[in-house]
Amino acid sequence: MSILELAKRPIVSFDVEDKRHRQWFAEFNSLSTWSKCPVRFLVAEENGEDLVTMIQRKMIEYYMQKEFKDIKLK
C-alpha cells in the first residue's frame, strides 16, 4: 500500500441524520469546495443525480419532515 493510499479521506455515505455531515455540507455551500471536509461522500443513488443534488434532496426532505411532522411526505 502506498503512502498516498493512507492519506486518502475515507469514503462514507451521506447520512442526513448525522449533524457532522450536515455541517460539512454547509461548509461546502459556503466555500464552494470540499477541501475542508475530512471524508468523501459516496453517491449511493442510481437515479443519475450528482453528489450535490443528492445531498440537497436529502436535506430538503429532512427539514420538511421536521417542520411538517403531521403531513405525510413522499
CB 21 within 8 A of CB 15: yes
Which cell is 39 given?
471524508
Per-residue confidence (pLDDT) for residue 1, from 0 to 100: 65
HEC string for 7-41: HCCCEEECCCCCHHHHHHHHHHHHHCCCCCCCCEE
pLDDT single digits (tens) 57-69: 999 999 999 888 8
Q: Torsion angle, CA of 29/66/55/27, rounded to 10 degrees?
A: 20
pLDDT single digits (tens) 12-49: 999 999 999 999 999 999 999 999 999 999 987 677 88
DSSP state of 72: P
